[in-house]
Amino acid sequence: MDSGLPGNGRGPGGRLLKSFVYALSGIGSAIKRERNLQIHIFAGTVAIGLSILFSISKMEWLFILLAIAGMLSLELLNTAVERVVDLVTEEFHPIAKQAKDIAAGAVLVYACLSLLIGAIIFLPKITLIFGR
């Protein structure tokens, strides 16, 4: 008889646990293979370090964490789009190129926003330390 408890692979709890395992597996796979994701993780780690160093406010933490999580999420989605396009066609196709370029464009837009958020939060604090 199915208890529906997490970990047995059946029932809602088991399916939920499996979905987390699959998601973590996908993230791990992308981290190992995607240089841009590795760069974003490094930048996010630096931002967290600066946040701790400068004892930023709760509101600033929210913006920093949203910028980091949003950036990583978009990079993962971009990777998924690239994989699906590569799966569908091995030869050059202008629409496949557009799909990849548009997904990369979304990442670029959010990266610019994240950089701006970091500049707004950290530049005044850095300026105080080093003067003008």
Q: pLDDT, tens digit, for every residue of 5-35?
A: 455 566 767 899 999 999 999 999 999 999 9
**Catalytic residue chosen out of the listed positions 40, 43, 51, 75:** 75
**pTM for the predicted model, two decimal places:** 0.85
- Give me the residue spans of the domains in the chain: 1-33, 35-130
What are the tens digits of pLDDT across the range 79-103?
Answer: 999 999 999 988 899 999 999 999 9
**DSSP per residue over 32-87, as a string?**
HH-HHHHHHHHHHHHHHHHHHHTT--HHHHHHHHHHHHHHHHHHHHHHHHHHHHHH
| Residues of each annotated binding site | 15, 22, 34, 75, 82, 91-93, 100-101
- CATH number assigned to the domain with residue range 35-130, chosen from the 4 options 1.10.10.10, 1.10.287.3610, 3.90.1150.10, 1.10.630.10: 1.10.287.3610
Active site residue 60: no
CA dist., res. 78 & res. 55, Å (int):
33
